[in-house]
Amino acid sequence: MPPRVLVTRRQFEDQMDRLRAAADTVVLTRPEPATREELLEAVKGVTAIFAHITDSIDADVMDAAGDSLKVIAEFGVGYDNIDAAAASERNIAVGNTPGVLTETTADFAFALIQAAARRLAESDRFVRRGEWKWFDPLDLLGLDINGSTLGIIGMGRIGSSVADRAVASGMRVIYYNRNRAGDEHGAELVGSLGELLAQSDFVTLHCPLTPETQGLIGAEELKQMQSHAVLINTARGPVVDMEALTAALADGEIAYAALDVTDPEPIPTDHALLKMDNVTLLPHIASATVGTRRKMSEMTVDNILAALEGNLPPNCVNADEINW
C-alpha cells in the first residue's frame, strides 16, 4: 500500500505531481479551508499532512490520523497552528519553510512602513470616495521615513532584513529581542520593550507567536508609544491585543496601524477597525509572491518526501525531540 498524504489546501500542481509520484495524495482543492470535522475525517490513515496556517493541527487531529502519521509539514515559517509538543510526544516530525520567504516578507513589511507613513490606503479611499476637490497644503500629511526611528521587535531573519532596508533609507533602527543579535545590521539593542516603544516612530513586529508573545502589545504597551507612532504587524495577529489596539487608535494614543495579520483571521466584517481610516488591513499576504510561494511549496514537499523515505525533513523544527 502506498503511503497517503493529505494536502489541506489547493497548491502548485507541479509540486503536487511530485507528491503523487511517491504517495496516494489527496488535495483538498476547495478555495476555503476544511472544517474541523472534514479535517478530522480527511487525516485518517495518512503518513503526511501538508498543512497551512488555516489548519489547527492539534493532538486530536494527530490521533485521528493514527499511528501512520510521520510528518506534519507546514507551508510557512511560523508553525504556531501545530501543537509541536504533541507531535514530539507522538514521534511525529514537524517541518517548516524558513529562509525562502525572508526577503519577500521584509520587502512587504517595509512597504507597509512606507504606506502607513504616507497614508496611502487612506488617501486612495479619499480619492475613490470623490472627496478630493483640490490640492490642500495641510491635508493628508504623513511622517518622514528618513530620520525617523524604527523599533523592531524580534530580530531574527526577517527583522534583520527589515533593518537593512530601514538603515538604507536613513532610519535609526533599534531592536528588542531576547538575546543580542549576532549581526545587528546597523541596529542598536535597547534594554527593554518599554524603551523601544517610547523611542520609536514606527514599531514593527517580527517575533513568532508563542505563549510568551501572545498579547505582547496590549493596552499598557500601546500607552508607552508616541501619539504620532505607527504599529506594523506582519507576524501573527494574537501578538497584538486587537481590542486594546482599536481603543488606542480611536483615542489617539497611537496614530496608525498597518496589519497584515489579525486575530481572528479573517477579521470579522463588522469589526470597528474596518470603519477607521487610520488603519490599513491586509489579508495575510506578506509572503505572497509567485516566486516565494512556489519555493515554500517546494520546500514543504521536500520535507514530506524526505520523511516518506524515512529521513528527517531537511527543515525539521523538533528534530531534537524525536527519535527517528
User: Contact between 238 and ligand DGY (CB under 6 A)?
Assistant: no
101, 106, 112, 232: residue in contact with ligand DGY (rule CB under 6 A): 101
Closest residue by Cα to residue 5 from 22, 312, 31? 22
Query: What does the angle CA 254 – CA 143 – CA 236 come to, to the nearest 5 degrees?
Result: 50
* Residues 6 or more apart in contact with residue 244 via CB below 8 angstroms: 217, 218, 219, 222
Q: Return the DSSP state at 201.
A: S
Say how many CA atoms lie within 13 Å of 29 toward its Cβ.
5
C-alpha cell at 121: 490606503
Catalytic: 271?
no
Q: How far is the CB of 288 from ligand DGY (least distance, A)?
A: 9
Stretch of residues binding ligand DGY (CB under 6 A), selected from 22-30, 71-79, 178-186, 192-200: 71-79
Q: How far is the CB of 100 from ligand DGY (least distance, A)?
A: 9
Catalytic: 236?
yes
DSSP-based three-state secondary structure for 39: helix
Amino acid at 278: N
Q: What are phi and psi of 217, to 5 degrees?
A: -105, 100
Range 49-68, binding ligand DGY (CB under 6 A): 53
C-alpha cell at 304: 514530506
Q: Which is nearer to ligand DGY, 97 or 278 (CB)?
A: 97
User: Contact between 77 and ligand DGY (CB under 6 A)?
Assistant: yes
Q: How far is the CB of 191 from ligand DGY (least distance, A)?
A: 29
9: left (phi over 0), alpha (psi -120 to 50) or beta: beta
What DSSP string describes 52-112? Answer: -TT--B-HHHHHHH-TT--EEEESSS--TTB-HHHHHHTT-EEE---STTHHHHHHHHHHH
User: Contact between 258 and ligand DGY (CB under 6 A)?
Assistant: no
Catalytic: 298?
no
User: Contact between 106 and ligand DGY (CB under 6 A)?
Assistant: no
Q: How far is the CB of 105 from ligand DGY (least distance, A)?
A: 7
Q: Which is nearer to ligand DGY, 78 or 151 (CB)?
A: 78
Q: Which is nearer to ligand DGY, 53 or 71 (CB)?
A: 53
Q: Which residue is nearest to ligand DGY (CB)?
A: 76
Q: Which is nearer to ligand DGY, 76 or 95 (CB)?
A: 76
Stretch of residues binding ligand DGY (CB under 6 A), selected from 12-20, 75-83, 194-202, 245-253: 75-83
Q: How far is the CB of 77 from ligand DGY (least distance, A)?
A: 4
- Per DSSP, helices labelled H in 118-206 are 120-128, 157-168, 193-199
Burial 176-199 (b: 16+ CB within 10 A, else e): bbeeebeeebebeebeebeebbeb
User: Contact between 78 and ligand DGY (CB under 6 A)?
Assistant: yes
Stretch of residues binding ligand DGY (CB under 6 A), selected from 4-12, 25-33, 57-65, 72-80: 72-80
48, 73, 76, 224: residue in contact with ligand DGY (rule CB under 6 A): 76
Q: How far is the CB of 49 from ligand DGY (least distance, A)?
A: 15
Q: Which residues bind ligand DGY (CB under 6 A)?
A: 53, 76-78, 101, 287
Q: Which residues are catalytic?
A: 236, 265, 284
